[in-house]
Amino acid sequence: MALISPEYANRLLAELTEGCLVPAAPASLSRYAFQISNHVLIGDIAVRGHKYKNRWRLDERDIRKAGERLASLPVDPDDLVDARLPSAVHGRSWRSQIVRWFDDIAYKDQSTNGCSCEGQQPCSRVRPNRHGLGCGATFEQVKERYGQWPIACTSPLPLLTWSGSAWMVPRAYAALLDRADRIAAECVEQAARCGRCGTGGDVWKWRTSSNAGYTTLCPSCITAIARPYKDHLRGRLYASLPKNAQPEMFLCRLCTSPRQAMYWDHCHEHGFVRGPLCASCNTYEGGGHRFIDRPGAMEHLLRCKGCHRERTVPARHHPEILIRAGAIEPHGPCTRQPHGYGRVQEDGSVILHLTCWDHPLSRRWEVTVPAPRVQSLVRAFVEQALKAE
């Protein structure tokens, strides 16, 4: 089995389908593609992902098989059928995905340019205009925004045609995507089953990343192989941990449903161990955005002896604390606190990019919070969290 990188797999697919009516589209074949299933769909071929040396790889034979099948698909551009795009988004299918794109463009166009439709203002964007889209949207806008977005590693938008009353698509291509939907659903159903006992469950709660890829374990099975963490490493420096201090022996300390840990989460500023986390929680903490909204997040961050002593948390969490602390005044006459994200500067100040809840597209602005103000608000927030604990 020859394992190749996702980047090479995309290039190989492009070469195999060059000049075809249904060319392969560059797709994200990274670990996130395998989060809810062990496979990624390329046309109607399910290609399994393999984690090798902590990197995702694909079997070159599978990629060639999928590319050759796309290249040989008997597509007649004159044999069109009604794509039967629903009027509203329901479930996960290629049709609902296209409707999401259409509705997003119509919503943005209406918010920016207003609604010129007759009757109730603004319109609900359900009735198609002369372009087959809602309100004042055009297909050019859709292609500009979503033209490179793939479905089953193919580009659907170039194959769609508005007849004046319905969206049409080549019959063979519609059948291909219908098969892909069915196979994808079967793969997700299989991935939602516990790898030890076969019980079916919630793929989002039971599935987690491991050194060998994503695994699915039910609460009963996971608690049989991992145990709760009892803070026995609290106050220890991560650099001093012995090699046999395996996080996989413990449950993630933040997940509400039992999930096996994968990493020893630690404070990179002070070096102290905070506790075992699964791959998802560890990535979430590393990103910073909205992590402190999670139950137990502040308690977990303050397991670091240095942060606890200095009444602070890592700087990447400061922007979220400023927004949650109500440090920013509402925009104009609006009464709701704005939302957004921020960037920490080298001097400790924070630039917040804010959006008004009541005017999400037309009211956006920036605010710079000086470093002393940031430190004061973070310290007060931490003090409040410690009192609550």
| 338 confidence band (pLDDT: 50, 70, 90) | confident
Residues 236 and 181 in one domain: no
Our count of domains for the chain comes to 4
User: How long a stretch of residues is the chain?
Assistant: 389
Q: Tell me phi and psi for residue 220, to 5 degrees.
A: -65, -45
Distance separating alpha carbons of residues 236 and 233, to the nearest angstrom:
5
Based on the fold, state whether residues 210 and 288 are members of the same structural domain: yes
User: What's the average model confidence in pLDDT over 6-13?
Assistant: 94
CB-CB contact of 261 with 248 (8 Å): yes
**Residue 286 domain flag:** yes
How does pLDDT run across 54-73, given as a tens digit for each residue? 889 999 999 999 999 999 99
Q: Which domain holds residue 147?
A: 80-191
275 and 181 part of one domain: no
The answer to the question of residue 198 being in a domain is no
- At which of 266, 291, 308 does a domain end? 308
Q: How far is CA 103 from the centre of its chain?
A: 20
Instruction: State residue 244's pLDDT score.
Output: 84
Query: Which parts of the chain are beta strand (E)?
Result: 3-4, 39-42, 45-52, 55-59, 80-82, 161-162, 167-170, 207-210, 213-216, 263-266, 273-277, 339-344, 350-355, 364-369
The domain boundary, picked from 286, 308, 330, lies at 308
pLDDT of residue 32: 78
Dihedral pair phi/psi, residue 45, rounded to 5°: -110, 125
What is the average per-residue pLDDT within 247-274?
Answer: 94
Of 83-87, 333-337, 371-375, where does the model show the most confidence? 371-375
CB 256 within 8 A of CB 295: yes
In a domain, 273, yes or no: yes
Say what the pLDDT of residue 33 is. Answer: 84
Nearest 5°: CA angle at 56, between 55 and 62?
145
Same domain, 89 and 144: yes
- 319 and 292 share one domain: no
Give me the phi and psi of 262, to 5 degrees please: -130, -25
Q: Is residue 140 part of a domain?
A: yes
Q: Are residues 84 and 67 in the same domain?
A: no
Same domain, 184 and 209: no
Domain end (from 132, 163, 191):
191
Give the list of residues 6+ apart from residue 285 with CB closer than 8 angstroms, or none.
265, 277, 291, 297, 300, 301
Annotate 229-264 with DSSP letters as a single string.
Answer: ---TTTT-BGGG--TT--GGGBB-SS-SS--B--EE
The model's pLDDT over 194-240, given as tens digits with 9 standing for 90+, comes to: 999 999 998 888 888 888 888 999 999 999 999 999 999 999 999 99
What's the pLDDT score for residue 361?
59
pTM of the model: 0.80
Q: Do 58 and 123 lie in a common domain?
A: no
In a domain, 250, yes or no: yes
